[in-house]
Amino acid sequence: MYPTHYHAPKSLSEAVELFGQCDDPAFLSGGHTLLPTMKSRLASPTDLIDVRKIAQLHGIDVDDEYVRIGAAETHAAVSRHAGLCKAIPALGLLAGSIGDVQVRHVGTMGGSVANNDPAADYPSAVLALGATVHTSEREIAADDFFDGLYTTCLEPGELITHITFPIPVSAGYAKFRNPASRYALAAVFVAWFGGQSVRVAVTGAGSAGVFRWKAAEKALMNSFGPEALENLSLDPVGLLDDFHGCKDYRAALVQVMAQRAVSNMGGALIE
């Protein structure tokens, strides 16, 4: 076993400073991506900087226009916050659908978004809602944040502090789970901002991670309803193709999940 030093900073500035002082550090939040990669020796950081107890990374606030979620808030905390679930029901339902009870009480929103796992749920909400990712250094628009498989535009030592989500007129989320892993084989988050815009984000299906389905957005702007997507097909080029499902299968799943998400605006999660 290689040596790893554990740190539990009490402030954001201390965490960032520690990162700069260590040889090959990694921030630890929920750990559901980092720890398995360490166990398989795909990552071997010299130092783990645990940010879960930093007060500046906690808190959920809701006003008339935005929902603000601290990066260290767990999926369980997001799913049961009454104000958030009233403002953006689909976001609360998404959080409550992640993994199992144990995962939801340890995993954090910031960790999920920062890792950009191709099957993660939160990136679809961030992208579909046009959220802003706030870090220790700057503010980043959702369209500029995700940069490919397991990669984002975050610089080394840059830490997500919170994310602000504009409140849409309505939103819906639907996903099809892998029956074994419970990860999404395909999931779609749809956010409707009235006559202003519609944003559709797909997770679980893309070989480069989360992406917007702009043809679906255009179709829904012309006529908002599941029937607008009936004859729309997603180009399978760029989709995942593995033993869980081929590209064409995932393309078909995305189309069905998009229809279900639209049918589910403001309702219960459809799987």
What digits encode the pLDDT tens for the residues 177-192?
988 777 889 999 999 9
Distance CA 199, CA 192 (A): 7
More confident residue, 30 or 211: 211
Convert the pLDDT of each residue in 118-156 to its tens digit. 889 999 999 999 999 999 999 999 999 999 988 999 999
Does 72 share its domain with 138?
A: yes
pLDDT number for residue 268: 53
Does 253 share its domain with 181?
A: yes
Does 61 share its domain with 86?
A: yes
Q: How many structural domains is the chain composed of?
A: 3
Distance CA 61, CA 52 (A): 18
Convert the pLDDT of each residue in 66-94 to its tens digit. 999 999 999 999 999 999 999 999 999 99
Q: Which of 242, 248, 254 shows the shortest CA–CA distance to 210?
A: 254
Does 74 share its domain with 140?
A: yes
Banded pLDDT at 254 (limits 50, 70, 90): very high
The residue count of the chain comes to 271
Q: Torsion angle of alpha carbons 1, 149, 203, 129, nearest 10°?
A: 110
Tell me phi and psi for residue 93, to 5 degrees: -65, -40
CATH number for the domain that contains residue 238: 3.30.390.50
Q: What is the pTM of this model?
A: 0.94
Helix, strand, coil percent content, the chain, rounded in steps of 5: 35, 25, 40
